[in-house]
Amino acid sequence: MAGHSTPHFQNDAGHAAIDIGVREFMCVGANPPLDHPHVYIDMGDDDQKVCPYCSTLYRYDPALKAGETRPAGCIYIDKAA
């Protein structure tokens, strides 16, 4: 996961919802320099959670791996790492 132990997700395309395969993750908003503070989100026992900064709805899908998203391409890759 590009040097991250916790998956990081981004939403450059402005999707209303992103399906992910983990319940604990970081949301960065859009890619830098348009990102917001990188916020840790823990869904707990819930299957969805909204980012308090960008309002992206993240939905847990156990069929997805930690580095997969639906729609595709929402995993954040830190190019500086």
Query: Could you read off the pLDDT of 52-67 as tens digits, one per residue?
Result: 999 999 999 999 999 9
Closest C-alpha to 7, from 53, 58, 52: 58
Q: Would the pLDDT of 16 be above 70?
A: yes
Q: What's the token pair of residue 63?
A: 């069929």
* Of residues 50 and 67, more confidently modeled: 50
